[in-house]
Amino acid sequence: MVNVAIIGVGNIAETHLLAYSKNKNVKVVAFCDINPDRLQYMGKKWGVDKCFTDLNEMFSNVPEIDAVSVCTWNSAHAPCTIAALKAGKHVLCEKPMAMNAQEANEMLATAKECGKLLMIGFVRRHGNDAKIVREFVDSDYFGELYYAKATYLRRNGNPGGWFGDRSRSGGGPLIDLGVHVIDLVRFIFGNPKPISVYGATFTKLHNRPDIKSDKGYRSAGAGEADICNVEDLASAMIRFDNGAVLSVEAAFSLNLKKDEGKIELFGTKGGAKLDPELELYGEMNGYMTNMSLANIQTALSFDGLFENEIDHYIDCIEGRAACIAPAEDGVTLMKILDGIYESARLGHEVLL
Ligand SMILES: NC(=O)c1ccc[n+]([C@@H]2O[C@H](COP(=O)([O-])OP(=O)(O)OC[C@H]3O[C@@H](n4cnc5c(N)ncnc54)[C@H](O)[C@@H]3O)[C@@H](O)[C@H]2O)c1
């Protein structure tokens, strides 16, 4: 049995909790959140009575904790992760790994020093679509994959609360949404090393305070007093050491017809689109072909996505699996994101 504590019991913590509740090898034993009202609400809701506003107090009072999920806002990822590792706990840290690559490197170094697992919440790596596409990569369906396009665009989707506050988020849709699709493409490509980036960010529409339409996903702390000093659109090109290039766009606010999140892959022998249904493009008998797989779920299924991630975390802790979302990949992603923000600021390409 793995005893788990959740650090930061906001919105995404509920998804982690639901997934933990389905894993028979897990007992959730404690909560920590700096917001006492939220802590009390969540403790009651999930029947957890060991609730703390101070992390170290939690570790001293509940020594049986083996592992934690860090589900705080981004600026608390590094300090909470480092404290948990130093207390001898395994850590699943939500994406983005940290505010920047420097923090991410410190987290990685601490995990190595302490000999504990540090897994990053790259949840899309655990999707059925990613698994199937990887099978096609491994069987050389695509030939050389040399280009990809990834978009994660919301028309009016700034989640509010800390998400718009750069001092706690580190940035806007690039660090929040772009991170998912950049990581997924890099994972599908076989984790190549990024060598340069060109980026542009725009702060034009902000969090659209006057638009009354539904905003979708919300921070547990969203409210009237939300500030917004992050970009609302980011666009970038990322070049990898194997010659492949990824073009990515991420937005919280944009005047487009409807929200979209898709990935297109282009290889010498075939291509694919995850939209989120998987389509494959190729050649057969001298004709160009478009295909989909029969009798199998190829669309990204959000049902089960976090369960896959949490089950994998527990399997890694118990020695049944090797981690597919290790801290090293979190550091690489932070280097890419840092580079894109720097490029946007400087107005030219940045070498990583
Ligand atoms: N994997 C995904 O698809 C996904 C989806 C949503 C959010 N996230 C990530 O999850 C994290 C949390 O997002 P959210 O939407 O749940 O935010 P949220 O605002 O709903 O909750 C964050 C919680 O963290 C608490 N907190 C902040 N600092 C803390 C600290 N030092 N110690 C303890 N608690 C602290 C806050 O009080 C709040 O209750 C973010 O990093 C976000 O990027 C991931």
pLDDT score, position 303: 84
CA of 17 to the centre of ligand 1 (A): 13
**Rounded average pLDDT over 184-190:** 98
- Averaged pLDDT score across all residues of the chain: 97
Residue 224 has pLDDT above 90, yes or no: no
The token pair that represents 255 in the structure block: 């005047």
Residue nearest ligand 1's atom 27 by CA:
72
Q: Rounded distance, CA 171 to CA 334, Å?
A: 12
Contact 30, 62 (CB under 8 A): yes
pLDDT score, position 278: 95
**Rounded average pLDDT over 117-129:** 97
CA of 296 to the centre of ligand 1 (A): 34
Residue nearest ligand 1's atom 38 by CA:
10
Alpha helices by DSSP H, listed for the chain, are: 11-21, 36-46, 55-61, 77-86, 101-114, 128-138, 166-169, 173, 179-188, 305-317, 327-346
- Which of the 8 DSSP states describes residue 199? E
pLDDT above 90 covers a percentage of the chain that reads 95
Contact residues of ligand 1, CB 6 A cut-off = 7-13, 32-35, 38, 71-74, 76, 80, 94-95, 121, 123, 161-162, 176, 219-221
Residue 221 has pLDDT above 90, yes or no: yes
pLDDT score, position 18: 97
Instruction: Return the best residue to mutate from 9, 71, 183 for the ligand 1 pocket (most ligand atoms within 8 A of CB).
Output: 71
pLDDT score, position 302: 85
Domains along the sequence of the chain with CATH: 2-122 (3.40.50.720), 125-309+331-351 (3.30.360.10)
